[in-house]
Amino acid sequence: MLFLTALELVTQLLEAEQSGTMHALFKRLAKPEVLVIDEVGYIPFGREAANLFFQVVNTRYLQRLSD
């Protein structure tokens, strides 16, 4: 299980995008059986952050469908 706040996740996603390490981060986020993202409703997401957040959820969803 991996537990992150929404702010931690978005910060990691934006940093990974800037540094070119997005693939490695997505692999790390896809590994745990359970990914808990806390405090989602507490921070407003910008368009870019919301898109990256969606990609994490969608990637995990599609991965579980193919398992």
Instruction: Name which of 24, 42, 3, 2 is nearest 13 in CA terms.
Output: 24
pLDDT in tens, 12-47: 999 999 999 999 999 999 999 999 999 998 888 899
pTM (2 d.p.)? 0.88
pLDDT, residue 59, reads 92
pLDDT, residue 29, reads 95
pLDDT, residue 64, reads 86
pLDDT, residue 41, reads 86
